[in-house]
Chain A
Amino acid sequence: AQTVTQSQPEMSVQEAETVTLSCTYDTSENNYYLFWYKQPPSRQMILVIRQEAYKQQNATENRFSVNFQKAAKSFSLKISDSQLGDTAMYFCAFTPLNNAGNMLTFGGGTRLMVKP
Chain B
Amino acid sequence: DADVTQTPRNRITKTGKRIMLECSQTKGHDRMYWYRQDPGLGLRLIYYSFDVKDINKGEISDGYSVSRQAQAKFSLSLESAIPNQTALYFCATSDMGQGKTQYFGPGTRLLVL
Contacts and interface: CB of A to CB of B under 8 A. Distances in A.
A91 B56 contact: no
Contact of A102 (B40, B41, B102, B106): B102
Q: Which one of B42, B88, B102, B109 has the greatest number of beta carbons of chain A within 10 Å?
A: B42
Interface string B27-60: 0000101000000111111001010000010100
B interface: dominant SS: strand
A95 B102 CA distance: 11
7 A-B pairs with the lowest CB-CB distances in the bound complex, closest first: A106-B42, A45-B104, A102-B100, A106-B43, A102-B94, A108-B42, A43-B107
Contact of A50 (B58, B101, B107): B101
A108 B41 contact: yes
Q: Which one of A52, A102, A107 has the greatest number of beta carbons of chain B within 10 Å?
A: A102
A35 interface: yes
24 contacts: A4-B42, A6-B42, A33-B99, A35-B101, A37-B104, A42-B106, A45-B43, A46-B104, A47-B101, A47-B103, A50-B101, A52-B99, A97-B100, A101-B31, A101-B50, A102-B94, A102-B100, A102-B102, A103-B33, A103-B48, A103-B58, A104-B45, A106-B42, A109-B40
Nearest to A99: B100
Interface of B: 31, 33, 40-45, 48, 50, 56, 58, 88, 90, 92, 94, 96, 99-104, 106-107, 109
Contacts of A9: 40
A100 interface: yes
